[in-house]
């Protein structure tokens, strides 16, 4: 058996706002979205529609978003977990200094400034629009 990767599925308040954050701030693209209360799949967002699910990607990284109530209906064990939970997503990037400078020009919430760690990574942390902490790191 071979593991081929991991794609987090995050419970979010609003699919459109979340996708906009990941597109506009972090440069992700939409792979697919599912219209609310349907099984209709689209590859773009329409302002007048509401959505239950989205899959976005950038380079080799994919992230799924599921609307909070849909997520809790599908995974009952997580009904009492708060959004943002106690999870930190660590994303390895290239040219971290340039990426950090770019993000500082947006309204992103930096929770740990860019620093070089004792374990040989140059990293910083931000919060997304749902409270999830995203760490970005590059090997020094």
What are 80-101's pLDDT values in tens digits? Answer: 666 555 678 899 999 999 999 9
Considering Cα of 102, then 129, then 60, then 47, what sign does the dihedral take? negative
Give the residue, 3 or 50, on which the prediction is more confident: 50
Question: How far is the CA of 17 from the CAs of 38, 77, 132, in angstroms?
Answer: 20, 26, 14
Give the range among 38-42, 77-81, 102-106, 118-122 with minimum mean pLDDT.
77-81
Most confident of 41-45, 67-71, 76-80, 83-87: 41-45
What is the C-alpha separation between 89 and 123, in angstroms, rounded? 12
> Which CATH number is correct for 1-82, 3.40.50, 3.40.5, 3.10.50, 3.30.720?
3.30.720
Kindly give the pairing relationship between strand 133-139 and strand 29-35. Answer: unpaired
**Mean pLDDT for all residues in the chain:** 90
Please provide the CATH number assigned to the domain covering 84-140.
3.30.720.110
Length of the chain: 140
Q: Stretch 46-67: mean pLDDT, rounded?
A: 95
What are 104-126's pLDDT values in tens digits? Answer: 999 899 999 999 999 999 999 99
pLDDT at 72 over 90: no
pLDDT computed for residue 87 by the predictor? 76
Q: 100: helix, coil or strand? A: helix
What is the C-alpha separation between 88 and 4, in angstroms, rounded? 21
pLDDT computed for residue 105 by the predictor? 93
pLDDT computed for residue 5 by the predictor? 82
Q: Stretch 29-58: mean pLDDT, rounded?
A: 95
- What's phi and psi for 121, nearest 5 deg? -115, 145
Considering Cα of 91, then 95, then 97, then 98, what sign does the dihedral take? negative
pLDDT computed for residue 33 by the predictor? 97
As annotated, the residues of the chain forming the CATH 3.30.720.110 domain(s) are 84-140
């Amino acid at each position: 058996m071979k593991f081929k990767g991991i794609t987090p599925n995050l419970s979010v308040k609003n699919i459109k706002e979340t996708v906009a954050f990941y597109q506009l701030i972090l440069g992700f693209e939409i792979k697919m979205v599912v219209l609310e209360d349907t099984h209709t799949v689209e590859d773009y967002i329409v302002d007048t529609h509401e959505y239950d699910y989205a899959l976005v990607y950038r380079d080799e990284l994919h992230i799924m978003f599921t609307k909070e109530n849909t997520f809790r209906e599908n995974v009952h064990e997580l009904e009492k977990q708060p959004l943002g939970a106690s999870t930190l997503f660590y994303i390895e990037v290239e040219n971290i200094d340039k990426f950090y400078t770019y993000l500082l020009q947006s309204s992103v919430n930096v929770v740990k400034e860019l620093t070089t760690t004792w374990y040989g990574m140059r990293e910083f942390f931000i919060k997304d629009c749902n409270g999830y902490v995203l760490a970005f790191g590059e090997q020094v």
